[in-house]
Structure 1
Amino acid sequence: GSFNVGRHLWAGARTAPFKGSVDEVAVWQRALPDGEVADEARSLINESYAGAELVANWAPETASGATVTDTTSGYGRSLALTGGAAVVDGEIVFDGVDDSATTAGPLVDDTGSFTTTTLVALDGAKLAAKAVGYKGQVLGQRTADGSAWGFWYELTGKDVVVDEETYEDRTVPVGKWHFGRLGADGKFSSVVSDEVAALDGLVRLTGVHDAQSGEISLYLGRNRNGAELAFTAVLGSGDFAIGKGFTSGAWSHYLPARIAEVRVWAGAMASSEQIDNSVGD
């Protein structure tokens, strides 16, 4: 009889229709060894490139009022700006108090492979008013008890420097980037940036979750930061959020920043070369 996708034959009748989408069906006349199964799951094209499908792409220039639309990926999700977040000069501006942007999530299977990138500029003056130890989320997927994954900023200290224009002392926040999860206990499971997070200028952050290796990695620009980290994925639920994070049963971790772009792919990009060519600037 026929080979069927999305339905079942039982007692001469077609039953059990599958509600959803199915892609990349393949059948072999042999048993695949573990290594080939893993390579097939990663959709490897070669050692440097793996299949990755764009599932979300938000650029502030597509904004209309308090909505930023995705006109590129084909999935058509829109971001809702709340709390006073607004698009100014082609960037979404967040005050770090109650501003955010959200869409119904999850965007991808959070236990599967995915890649995400953003352009973010921290507001140095507003961060200087935060207490050391403050944690703000750039973007991420929530789950029942915290974050499934996301980009985070952690304020680790403050320096006092002489302002080059006024010759007066001013406080400069010092912190690091994280890619991973912040649990309800306030502890990170994340890759931490090698470099101190730059202030006030746009920074390219890219994160990769490779489900086949069980690891996550963080890139600043095209440069990998930190070592790959073993990561136990948590299935997300609820909103995907920008400018705030969910922990201990409530939204908090509001981040004062400007966001110029957010993109998410299903699939783990295989190398810095692929990230450089696919993400670009």
Structure 2
Amino acid sequence: MLDAPTISSDDYPECGADGCASSGGVDVPGTFTFTTSDTDVVKFTYSLNNTLEVTKTVPPGTTSTTVTLAPDQRGLNQLAVTAWDAAGDASTTATYYFSVAPNAPATGGWSFDEGSGSTAADSAGSHPATLVGGASWSSHARLGKALDLDGTQGYASAAGAGPDTSRSFTVSAWARPTGLTHDAVAVSEAGADGSAFALSYSAASHAWVFSRDTSDSAASTVVRSVSTATPVPGVWTHLTGVYNAQSRTVQLYVNGVAQGAPVSFTPSWQAGGDLQIGRGRSGAAYGGYFPGQIDEIQTWDRALSPKETADLEAEVDPETGHSRPALAADWELNEASGSTATDSSGYGHTAALSSGAAFATDNDGGKGGVLSLDGTSGHASASGPLVDGQGDFTIAAWVRLDASALSDTSVEHTMRIAGQSGGNQDSWGLWYTQPAGMSEGMWAFGRTDADTPGATTVTAPTGIASAQLVDPGDDWTLVTGVYDGAHHQLLLYVDGVRQTAPVTFDSPWQATGDFTVGVGRTPDGSSGDATAGLVDAVRVWTGVTDGGDIDLMYLNEMPIPL
């Protein structure tokens, strides 16, 4: 039998007789070296914390190899390694125990929840931000309240709050620009001449940017990590910039997703200036004043891992463990008459009713005021977009389909409940589909991979064969779709119950057309698939909504807590 390999790591030292010294952090990668005394080893298999084994093949004669692993739990971790020879004989399995330290918390945090006064508290430290010029408070917020900036002279400044930019650091913010006409800086750290870093919008590139000046001088050049995701005015977008001093790279994340490959940044200098919120510094002068709202700024004195960055967008409540979405649109549809539906979210997305759509009263189902759709042309529409469709969002609607409109089983039926339209396709939406020859169908939440006729549509569930079939009858149904953009997943809930496993979708695109209720784009790009029946309480949120909260929404017929 082969001898058991030995395992070593400078990043995560082995526990000894005197105990374990914690190091690293959850999702913080480290290197581990496997060494064997046998020269006929052809592979190693290893498993971290009893997860599925991974195989590392090595050339004949190799006695040592190195792998990179990111621990998935704090405290004690276990790494098991086995060596194998060409004959398929295995060594005794070696076990390596090491301890993972808690991840260092944020060093700065500004939530802007005060709502009045001229100072925003730093929840993670002692560096309050002072509001200056055209800076005020807004109820249009990702959470609670937000900082509102006029785009010409408004900003906030936190003295001494900037991270040490000569070392690894991370900065994140939620941004909601009201316009995209000029360069606009969400957050930066000022030096004497330029900015040690800036999270910003570039008008020339029409892109989000995480940038660093190579020096604090007029001769400095700018190194940029540029977004592939499209900036969208009037919606909340999550931005994160990471500088890794070990790899000497800068990396921008938009809505938790890395934008291209890390960009090399060799020089590194410490600005020692104030944290600037809503403006940046270049050529020894301030500019790039941000128009719109900024919320939930955080800084760390370390490089967050990709997984940590992806998890940021969910805005998990530390007390409940639940994500915290923010209402982006809410049509209760309780109007007794008229041709417009009021959006009670505060964002003003008034929906216009077409012919064939009218307000009605549902006495049998107890819904009160509802929207009635004739199945031919009736629909409601509001100017979009409502959310950044490249990031996390949730859509929900109560629906009562007209069973008589689905009674002809010789043809296929599709009824579009609600969705975001583009030039040729709906980027995303909820619908009901019933194949020809069937009296039952399925609810679906789906996305197209491009704004072109004939684009591929990905749905949850993936198809009728994997769906939980439903008889639409005349019952009210709560249909909820969730897109987890940071983790590339589609989820569908019907009456608060998740339907099948999450479905992978990694080709989101941003549509800028109307948000429609009761009609949508058909596969060939034309408008159709009209809904016949009643619709009530159509709501859209920025952010992922947890399954438990969706179930409560179904049971209580109330929007989730905001």
TM-score by length of 1: 0.87
Counterpart in 1 of 2:516? 241
Higher gyration radius (CA):
2
Percent identity between the two aligned chains = 32
Deviation at 1:57, TM superposition (A): 0.6
Superposition RMSD in Å: 2.1
Deviation at 1:204, TM superposition (A): 0.5
Deviation at 1:101, TM superposition (A): 0.3
1:257 has 2:533 as partner: yes
Deviates more, 1:222-231 or 1:37-46: 37-46
Counterpart in 1 of 2:347? 75
Counterpart in 1 of 2:313? 41
Counterpart in 2 of 1:178? 444
Counterpart in 2 of 1:169? none
The counterpart of 1:222, out of the listed 493, 496, 504, is 496
Q: Secondary structure at the match of 1:238?
A: coil
The counterpart of 2:329, out of the listed 19, 38, 56, is 56
Cα distance in 2, alignment partners of residues 130 and 243 from structure 1 = 21
Query: Which sections of structure 2, spanning at least 5 residues, go unmatched?
Result: 1-272, 362-368, 462-466, 558-562
Deviates more, 1:149-158 or 1:123-132: 123-132
Deviates more, 1:178-187 or 1:132-141: 178-187
Counterpart in 1 of 2:95? none
Greater share of helix residues, 1 or 2? 1
Query: Which sections of structure 1, spanning at least 5 residues, go unmatched?
Result: 160-172
1:143 has 2:392 as partner: no
Greater share of strand residues, 1 or 2? 1
TM-score by length of 2: 0.45
Deviation at 1:278, TM superposition (A): 4.9
Deviation at 1:35, TM superposition (A): 2.4
- 8 Å CA contact 2:497–2:551 kept in 1: the answer is no
Deviation at 1:185, TM superposition (A): 2.8
The counterpart of 1:191, out of the listed 449, 452, 460, is 460
Matched letter for residue 42 of structure 1? A
Cα distance in 2, alignment partners of residues 264 and 133 from structure 1 = 28
- 8 Å CA contact 1:140–1:147 kept in 2: the answer is yes
CA deviation string 1:218-250 (max 9, x = no partner): 011121112210013221120110100023343
- 8 Å CA contact 1:157–1:175 kept in 2: the answer is no
Cα distance in 1, alignment partners of residues 274 and 337 from structure 2 = 49
Q: Whose RCO is larger (CA < 8 A, sep 6+)?
A: 1
**Greater than 3 Å deviation, 4+ residue runs:** 277-280
Matched letter for residue 360 of structure 2? V
- 8 Å CA contact 2:336–2:360 kept in 1: the answer is no
Deviation at 1:186, TM superposition (A): 7.8
- 8 Å CA contact 2:400–2:474 kept in 1: the answer is yes
Deviation at 1:197, TM superposition (A): 4.2
Cα distance in 1, alignment partners of residues 509 and 488 from structure 2 = 12
- 8 Å CA contact 1:86–1:94 kept in 2: the answer is yes
Matched letter for residue 57 of structure 1? D
Q: CA separation of 1:197/1:43 partners in 2, compared to 1, >3 Å: closer, same or farther?
A: farther
Cα distance in 2, alignment partners of residues 68 and 130 from structure 1 = 34
1:121 has 2:395 as partner: no
Deviation at 1:131, TM superposition (A): 5.3
Matched letter for residue 9 of structure 1? R
Cα distance in 2, alignment partners of residues 188 and 211 from structure 1 = 16
Deviation at 1:38, TM superposition (A): 1.8
Number of equivalences: 266
Q: CA separation of 1:38/1:107 partners in 2, compared to 1, >3 Å: closer, same or farther?
A: same
Counterpart in 2 of 1:276? 551
Q: Secondary structure at the match of 1:26?
A: strand
1:108 has 2:387 as partner: yes
